[in-house]
A and B are shown apart, each in its own frame.
Chain A
Amino acid sequence: MAWPLLLLVAVPIVAGLGSLLAGRRRTVEVLQCVSAVTMLASAVLVADRVIAGGSAAVEGFLHTDALSAWFDLILGVVGGTGTLYAVGYMGESMDRGHLPLKRYRQFFCLFDLYLAAMLLAVNLENIAIMWIAIEGSTLSAALLIGFDRSKEALEAGWKYIILSSVGIALALFGTILVYYSSEHVLGVSSEALRWSELYRVAGELDPAAIKLAFVFALIGYGTKAGIAPMHTWLPDAHAEAPTPVSAMLSANMLSLAVYAILRFKAVTDKTVGPEFSGSLIIVLALLSLAVSSAFFLVQRDYKRLFAYSSIEHIGIALLGFGIGGLGVFAGAWHLMNHALAKSTAFYGAGLVFLRHNHKSLERVTGLLDQMPLAGTAILVAGIALSGLPPFGLFSSEVLIAAGAYTAKPDVAYAFLALLAFAFATLLYQVLRMALGTPGEAGTAPGRQCRIFTGAAVGINLVVLSAIGLQVPPRLEPLLASIVTLFGAGIEVPR
C-alpha cells in the first residue's frame, strides 16, 4: 500500500471536516497547517515513488502513473502553499471583524474538500469516477466563488456554476461514448473504464466513436480549463472569489481540467493518431491566446489581469500538447511553472486587496516600497509570467515555439506574434504596480497574516527559482514517460 498516496488524498478531507467541527480558531489553524505540510510532503513522496517504481497504487481505488504523479506535484505543492496562504488571508479578514468564526470554519471545510476532490481526480484510474471527483470540485468551487455573498460574487458564482455544469455534462457524454465503444472490446464491466485497459486496447476501439468522444471531452473539460470561447466565466470567478480561492482556481483547477483533456487525448491518439486531437487543440489554444491578449489592454482590475493571463498560459500549454513530441514535454513543464508563478501573483494581489480594499489597477503603484512581500511576489511572478528568463516559462515557451516551427510554421508565427503582445502588456502593468512611489496608505495586514502569507510566497518563489534554469534530473524520468504516453519517446533536453 502506498501510504503517501493515501495521505495525499485523505488528509485534506479529514482536515476539512475537522475544521468544520472545531470549536476554536486555533484548532482550525493547526489542522490546516498539518494538512498543508502533509500535502507538500506526500506529493513529493508520491512522485518519488513513481519515479522509482513506475507507478504507485492503493489497490482497487487509486492508481498513479507518471502523468498523475506530475499533476500530484503541481496540485500538492500549490495546494499546500495555498492552504498556508488561506490561513493568513482569512485570519486577517476575521481579525478585522469581516468574518464570523462559523463562516471561517465553513470556508476551510469547503476549501479542503475542493483541494481533496482535485487531488483525488488525478489519482483515479476509472474515467467515470474521475468525472465524479471533478464534478465534486466544480460544486465546491461554486460555493467558494460566491463565498463573499456580494452581488458581484453571486453573479460570478452563478455564471460559473451554469457554464461548468453544461461543460461537465458534455464531458460526461464524452465519457459515456468512450464506454460505449470500449465495452464491445472489454465487455460490460468497470474494466472498460480504466485508463490502462483503454490504452491497451485503443487500437481496437471504433475510430468514429473515439473521435466524437474526444470532441465532447475537449469542449466539456475545456470549459473548466477556461479555454476560449468557453472562457467567459473565468475572469469573473477569479476576480470575485476570495483570493486564496482565485489562486487555487487558476493554478490547480485549470491544470486539473487540462489533465482530464490529456487523458482523453492519449486514448484518441492511440486510436486515430495524434493529428486529429492535435489540430483541434491547436485551434482552441491559439483562440485562447488571441482572446486573452486582446483583453489584457482593457483591464482595470488587477485580479482580472492575472485571470486573463491564466487563459493565455493554459492556451500556451495546450498548444504544446497539440503540437506533440517535444511540445508535450514543454506543455507539462509550462503547466507546473505557471501554477507556481500564477498562485504567487494571486498571493501578492490578495495582500494588496487586504491593504487597499479595492481592485483598481490604476490606483496601485509603488508596491515594492509600500509592501515588500506583495511587491516581490507580484514583480517576480509577473516577470516569470511574461516569459522572461531565468524562469521555466521562458524555456517552455521557446521549446513550444521551436516545436511549432518544425511541425507547423504558420502556428509558430501566430504564436510568437500573440506572445509578444501579451508579454508587453503584462510586463508593463506589473512593473507599473511594483515600481514608482506608493499612492494610498491603506491598512497594513497584521503580523500573523504576514507570517503565513510570507511562508506561502516564500516556498513558491524558492521552488520557482530552483526549477527555473534547468529541469531537475530527478524529474526527467517522469517527463520522459509522459512524453511516451503521447507517442514517440524523445530525449529530454537539459
Chain B
Amino acid sequence: MSLLSQQLGSQMVNLGSALLLLTCFAIVAQRRLTACVDMFAVQSVLLAATAALVAFLTGIHHIYIAAALTVVIKAVLIPRILKQVVERLNVTRELVMNVNIPASLLICGGLVMLAFFITQPIIPLGFLLTRDSLAISLAIILIGFFTMIARKKAVTQVIGFLVMENGLFLGATSAAYGMPLIVEIGVFFDVLVGALIIGIYTHRLQDAFDSVDTTKLTTLKE
C-alpha cells in the first residue's frame, strides 16, 4: 500500500471512530427513550462500517464477519428487543436523570480527555492505520459506564452497557486488528444472551415493582 493511500485510510478510520464518539454524545443528550435506542442502532451501523473499512485496508477477512454480525445483532436485533421492552412495559418515554444533560455532556467531554490521557503512553505502540482508535474506544467505554450511572431507567442502563460493548468492539477490531474469529463469535453470543437476560430482568422488575425505575430498588441496604 502506498504511503498516500495509507494516510487516507488512517484518516478514514479515524473519521469513523470520531463519528462513533459523536453518537455517544447524542445518546447522552437524548431526552426520549426510543430516540436513545435509535441512536444506539446508528452507532452500531457506524461501528460495522469502521470495522469493514479496517478489514478492507488490512486484508484481514474475518473482520468482515464480525462487522456483519454487528449489523445483524446490534443494529437490528437488540434495538428491536429494546423497543419491544419499551412498548410492552409502557414506561413513560421521558428519561429520568441523576445528572442533567448539560452537566452530563461536560462530564463526557472530561471522560474523553481522560481516555486520551490514560492511553497516551501506549498509543505509539499501535498500528499506524488505527492509531487513535484505542483512545476513542476507551472514551466510548467510559461514556457508556457514565450513562449507566447517570440514568435511572433500567432500559437506559442496558443501553449504557451496550455502548460499553461497542467501545470494546472498536478497541478489538480497530486498535488490535480483530481478535481471532472464535473469540469474536463468542463475545457476540455473550452480548446477545446478556441483553436477553437483562430484558428478562426488566420484565420481572416491572411485574414485581410496577416500575423499571431502578431508584425504587432500595430494600437491600445496610
Interface residues of A (CB under 8 A from B): 126, 128-129, 131-132, 135-136, 139, 142-143, 146, 149-152, 154-159, 161-162, 165-166, 169-170, 172-173, 176-177, 179-181, 183-184, 188-190, 193, 206, 208-209, 212, 236, 239-240, 295, 298
Contacts and interface: CB of A to CB of B under 8 A. Distances in A.
A173 B161 CA distance: 14
B164 A169 contact: yes
B175 A176 contact: yes
B208 A149 contact: yes
A136 to B, nearest CB: 7
A173 B205 CA distance: 30
A304 B214 CA distance: 22
A180 B197 contact: no
Given A135-B194, A143-B197, A172-B168, A180 B134 contact: yes
Nearest to B209: A151
A131 B121 CA distance: 26
Nearest to A190: B180
Contacts of B182: 129, 190
B93 interface: no
B180 to A, nearest CB: 4
A228 to B, nearest CB: 13
B161 A180 contact: no
Given A129-B182, A162-B161, A154 B168 contact: no
18 contacts: A126-B183, A128-B179, A128-B186, A132-B186, A151-B208, A154-B209, A157-B201, A158-B154, A161-B194, A161-B197, A161-B201, A176-B171, A180-B125, A183-B177, A188-B60, A190-B180, A193-B180, A206-B122
B219 interface: yes
Contacts of B205: 154, 158
Contact of A159 (B126, B178, B217): B217
Contacts of A142: 197, 201
Contacts of A136: 190
A157 B165 CA distance: 20
A208 B171 contact: no
Contacts of A181: 122, 125
B193 interface: yes
A180 B194 contact: no
Contacts of B122: 177, 180-181, 206, 208-209, 212
Contacts of B178: 188
A139 B222 contact: no
Contacts of A155: 217, 219-220
Which label, helix, strand, loop or mixed, suits the secondary structure of the B interface? helix
A121 B72 CA distance: 28
A184 B164 CA distance: 26
A125 B60 CA distance: 24
Given A156-B220, A159-B217, A165-B161, A139 B194 contact: yes
Given A151-B208, A181-B122, A169 B214 contact: no
Contact of A135 (B141, B145, B190, B214): B190
Nearest to B144: A169
B201 A166 contact: no
Contacts of B180: 128, 189-190, 193
B179 A166 contact: no
Nearest to A152: B219
A237 to B, nearest CB: 10
Nearest to B118: A212
Given A173-B171, A240-B220, A298-B222, 6 more contacts: A132-B189, A139-B194, A154-B205, A162-B161, A180-B126, A183-B177
B51 interface: no
B176 A176 contact: yes
A146 B194 CA distance: 15
A173 B168 contact: yes
A208 B148 CA distance: 29
Contacts of B18: none
Contact of A173 (B141, B186, B201, B222): B141
B204 interface: yes
Contact of B138 (A132, A173, A206, A298): A173
B22 interface: no
Contacts of A236: 220
Contact of A146 (B137, B165, B176, B204): B204
Contact of A169 (B126, B161, B183, B197): B161
B217 A169 contact: no
B200 to A, nearest CB: 8
A162 B144 CA distance: 12
Nearest to A157: B201
B168 A146 contact: no
A339 to B, nearest CB: 25
Nearest to A215: B118
A169 B141 contact: yes
B201 A158 contact: yes
B121 A208 contact: yes
Nearest to B218: A155
B95 to A, nearest CB: 17
Contacts of A188: 60, 177-178
Q: In the complex, which of the residues A126, A157, A166 has the most CB atoms of chain B within 10 Å of its own CB atom?
A: A166
B105 interface: no
Q: 8 tightest CB-CB pairs across the interface, nearest first?
A: A132-B186, A190-B180, A208-B121, A128-B183, A209-B122, A155-B217, A135-B190, A236-B220
B68 interface: no
Interface in B23-50: none
B172 interface: yes
A261 B172 CA distance: 20
Interface string B135-171: 0011001001100100000100100010011001001
A156 B221 CA distance: 10
A138 B15 CA distance: 35
B125 A129 contact: no
A226 B166 CA distance: 26
B111 interface: no
Given A132-B183, A143-B197, A162-B148, A183 B208 contact: no
A298 to B, nearest CB: 6
Contacts of B60: 188
A188 B129 CA distance: 15
B198 interface: yes
Max chain B C-beta neighbours (<10 A), residue from A126, A129, A162, A184: A162
